[in-house]
């Protein structure tokens, strides 16, 4: 990882450590619940993304370095909170997808932040059990 990418990662994670506990409690903030790969406990991460049909799309700003991505690799069964309602599904990591192009199809504010602070973007598709 380059020095710039490492700086972005450290800054973003320090910020998220303070903001995420508040954001994940907001009922209409989209959230992703994974199972902790070591603890086995549910881990909730506020996310930005969009439902398209029976799938929910998002882009991880730090790719495989993100804790929730590491949890997905260990167990792809997840839950997604969309507009206050929880859906179960299976997450798929899509390294061959163009994450920058994908961000253009997702909510503007979140996509702008992900592009600005991210390094090693990774597209994720969650196939919802509906």
Long-range residue pairs from 3-7, CB within 8 A, at least 24 positions apart, any chain: 4/119, 5/119, 5/120
What is the reported pLDDT for 83?
A: 93
Quick one: 30 exposed, middle or buried, by C-beta within 10 A (0-12, 13-18, 19+)? buried
What does 67-121 look like in DSSP terms, one character per residue? HHHHHHHH--EEEEEETTEEEEEEEEEETTS-HHHHHTTS-HHHHHHHHHH-SS-
Please give the residue range of the domain that contains residue 107: 3-128
pTM: 0.85
When divided into structural domains, the chain yields a total of 1
Give residue-wise pLDDT tens across range 34-61: 999 999 999 999 999 999 999 999 999 9
Give residue-wise pLDDT tens across range 81-130: 999 999 999 999 999 999 999 999 999 988 998 888 888 999 999 999 98
Say which CATH number the domain at 122 has.
2.30.110.10
Spatial CA neighbour of 28 closest among 80, 79, 78, 82: 82
What is the reported pLDDT for 14?
A: 67
Quick one: 89 exposed, middle or buried, by C-beta within 10 A (0-12, 13-18, 19+)? buried
Tokens of 7: 């700086």
């Amino acid at each position: 990882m380059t020095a710039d990418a490492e700086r972005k990662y450290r800054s973003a994670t320090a910020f998220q450590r303070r903001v995420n506990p508040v954001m994940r409690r907001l009922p209409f903030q989209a959230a992703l619940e994974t199972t902790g790969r070591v603890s086995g406990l549910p881990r909730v991460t506020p996310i930005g993304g969009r439902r398209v049909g029976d799938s929910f799309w998002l882009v991880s700003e730090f790719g495989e370095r993100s804790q929730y991505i590491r949890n997905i690799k260990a167990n792809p069964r997840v839950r997604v909170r969309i507009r206050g309602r929880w859906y179960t599904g299976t997450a798929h990591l899509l390294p061959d997808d163009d994450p920058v192009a994908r961000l253009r199809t997702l909510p503007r504010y979140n996509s702008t932040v992900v592009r600005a602070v991210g390094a090693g973007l990774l597209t994720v598709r969650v196939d919802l059990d509906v």
